[in-house]
Amino acid sequence: MHEVQSIPLILRMWTAWTTAAFGGLKTAWTTAAFGGLKTAWTTAAFGELKTAWTTAAFGELKTAWTTAAFGGLKTAWTTAAFGELKTAWTTAAFGELKTAWTTAAFGELKTAWTTAAFGGLKTAWTTAAFGELKTAWTTAAFGGLKTAWTTAAFGELKTAWTTAAFGELKTAWTTAAFGELKTAWTTAAFGELKTAWTTAAFGGLKTAWTTAAFGELKTAWTTAAFGELKTAWTTAAFGELKRGALQVETKLVGAIFLYA
């Protein structure tokens, strides 16, 4: 932690946030490791984002985002590794999606999406490797989901979803590896979340979320590895943010952490 705290605040972001490790963000955020973001964000490793975001490793995004590794996305996003998405997104590795998305590796999705590797989804999606989904989706590897989804590897989800590896989720979701979530979600590895979520590895989050590895977040979130955030968030490795009005989508953040 001492070594992390000794990291100088390289870049300051006033509107959204800038990260030294990543680059400089103008309206949303830009990351050096990733590239330069104009309206949303661009990542060098990934590419350049115009309206939403484009990633070089992934491709170029026009309206939503396109990934080179994945393909080219027109309305939502297309991935080359995965395929091409028309309305939602299609993945080549996975298949082709018409309304939502279809994956070849997984199957074909009609209303939501179906995955061959996983199973056949009718309303939401079912995965063979995972299980069978009735209303939302169930995964065999994970468990059986009734309303949202349950994963065996993760646990069992009642309203949102619970994961055994993660924990048990009541309203949103709880993960055992992460902790226990009451309103939003708590992760054991991360910590405990009260209103938004707290991560033990990260720290303790009160209103938004705090990460121990990162620091402590008061209104938005602060990360120790990154710095300390007051209104939006500051990252030591990245710089320091004072009043950036960066709106971090919980789902987007969740997706990033989950897929990271």
Question: Using one digit for the tens of pLDDT, what is the confidence trace for 150-196?
Answer: 333 333 333 333 333 333 333 333 333 333 333 333 333 333 333 33
Q: Kindly indicate the confidence band of residue 29, based on its pLDDT and cuts at 50, 70 and 90.
A: very low
Q: What is the pLDDT of residues 197-241, one digit of tens each?
A: 333 333 333 333 333 333 333 333 333 333 333 333 333 223 333
Q: What is the pLDDT of residues 54-103, one digit of tens each?
A: 333 333 333 333 333 333 333 333 333 333 333 333 333 333 333 333 33
In this predicted structure, what is the pLDDT of residue 42? 31
Residue 218 φ then ψ, to 5°: -95, -70
Residue ranges per domain, the chain?
1-49+178-260, 58-129
Give the residue-averaged pLDDT of 125-150: 32
CB 171 within 8 Å of CB 160: yes
Q: What is the pLDDT of residues 112-126, one digit of tens each?
A: 333 333 333 333 333
Q: What is the pTM of this model?
A: 0.10
